[in-house]
Chain A
């Protein structure tokens, strides 16, 4: 079975500073990796995904993530955050089997400080 660990439950960062949200996974099979963002009282919105190919993946809102197979990590980064980036971020993994069940981490709450 797959599992996802988000190492930081809360990350405060000043506006325009860079940020990294960490995600590690464990799996016995090949996986696909995703980052979702959840704004207050809303559902999940896809930020980016890694399926194959280049290990550096660019997503919406200036976010990017790098897949590191040897370290089983998929950390999310943004070079300069905005107030509007304040939200909950979830890392998810799915296996490469039919009916891709998603396994989510417990989330990282990003707070951007003016």
Chain B
């Protein structure tokens, strides 16, 4: 049973560029959440997708956008990259948006470095 997978593992970009990160949820899961973890900090919630729609959003600018596909996989897009966007980006999956007791399972993350 495959867990949450993310690609790529590492990514280096320059300021102003755009980046796309990808996530495949754990088998059977239909809800995907994205988190940003800056160095030395805890993960911060970016947004959550369920049924191909953004359902919740944290305090992140519109430069951060996402998408969920019919197979439940998801993409995180960041436009006009800033140095401060350098972080580990974590994807988490869970089952059923309406069930708030579901545990979120995390992927290994994508390390983004903005130069």
Chain A residues in the interface with B (C-beta under 8 A): 4, 6, 32, 34, 36, 41-46, 49, 51, 90, 92, 94-107
Complex partner residue of B90 from A43, A46, A99, A100, CB under 8 angstroms: A43
Return the chain B residue nearest A42 by Cβ: B108
A-B contact count (CB 8 A): 73
Write out the residue numbers on chain B whose beta carbons fall within 8 Å of the beta carbon of A105: 42
Write out the residue numbers on chain A whose beta carbons fall within 8 Å of the beta carbon of B101: 32, 51, 96, 100
A36 shortest CB reach to chain B, Å: 7
Complex partner residue of A106 from B41, B58, B103, B105, CB under 8 angstroms: B41
Is A97 a contact partner of B100 (Cβ separation < 8 A)? Answer: yes
**Do A100 and B106 contact each other (CB < 8 Å), given the known contacts A43-B90, A90-B43?**
no
Chain B residues in the interface with A (C-beta under 8 A): 4, 31, 33, 35, 40-45, 48, 50, 55-56, 58, 90, 92, 94, 97-109
Write out the residue numbers on chain A whose beta carbons fall within 8 Å of the beta carbon of B100: 32, 94-100
Nearest 10 CB-CB pairings of A with B: A104-B42, A44-B106, A43-B106, A100-B100, A43-B108, A98-B98, A106-B42, A104-B43, A96-B100, A99-B55
Write out the residue numbers on chain A whose beta carbons fall within 8 Å of the beta carbon of B109: 42-43
Return the chain B residue nearest A49 by Cβ: B103
Is A43 a contact partner of B98 (Cβ separation < 8 A)? Answer: no
Return the chain B residue nearest A91 by Cβ: B42
A40 shortest CB reach to chain B, Å: 11
**8 new A-B contacts at CB < 8 Å, known A99-B31, A100-B100:** A44-B43, A46-B105, A95-B100, A98-B98, A99-B98, A101-B33, A106-B42, A107-B42
Is A98 a contact partner of B105 (Cβ separation < 8 A)? Answer: no
Is B33 a contact partner of A102 (Cβ separation < 8 A)? Answer: yes
Return the chain A residue nearest B55 by Cβ: A99
Return the chain A residue nearest B31 by Cβ: A99
